[in-house]
Amino acid sequence: MNHPVRMFDYHAWATQTLLERIKELPSTVLQQEVNTSFPTIGEAFAHVYALDKCWLQILNGTSMPKALEACLPLQQETLRYSVDEFAIAFSELAEQFGAWFRSQDDLEQFIALENPYAGTRSIRFSEIVLQVVNHGTYHRGNVSAMLRQLGHASTMNDYSLFWYRESPKLMSEEEQNDV
């Protein structure tokens, strides 16, 4: 089993699961202000989307400073998206990650990551994928707390629930049979 691919598949599923829950709520919920790490749920999703896109560019060979320069404006461009627009954007981005995974022979390959905030270091592709997943999990937790502050229930999107859903999309048939 390819654990980084499986974890990314979880990340894509969990994001869509949370967005599906938000579709059940009044459309204004994305832009309602909350006193937390992000002023609105829309801004939290915009942040995750922009950084996921940034990491994909890095995986595709763009330096981190150039990827940040290209992707951080996406946060402002997407913060007013509707739930449906976020669902489409995240779905399309998951397909792009899927194409990248299929093009890779070795996710344990090292690259030099030039982080403008922390310096340069060698990092594996697999570690970048786990950063994407971990970052998304953290902020889905923020969104769940924001929903509760606004008087709405969230939805379960834990990895343990993911185990019981239908076959993962990003895994090959051979990997699915190993699960």
Residue 164 is predicted with a pLDDT of 86
Lookup: tokens for 79: 């913060």
CA-CA distance, 106 to 126, in Å (whole number)?
Answer: 9
Q: How many CB atoms lie within 10 A of CB 72?
A: 14
Q: How many CB atoms lie within 10 A of CB 166?
A: 6
Could you read off the pLDDT of 89-100 as tens digits, one per residue? 999 999 999 999
Could you read off the pLDDT of 164-174 as tens digits, one per residue? 886 555 555 56
Would you kindly state where each structural domain of the chain is located, as residue ranges? 3-21+30-162
Binding-site residues for a divalent metal cation sit at 47, 135, 139
Mean pLDDT of 143-148: 97
Binding-site residues sit at 47, 135, 139
Residue 34 is predicted with a pLDDT of 95
Residue 154 is predicted with a pLDDT of 97
Return the CATH fold of 3-21+30-162.
Answer: Four Helix Bundle (Hemerythrin (Met), subunit A) (1.20.120)
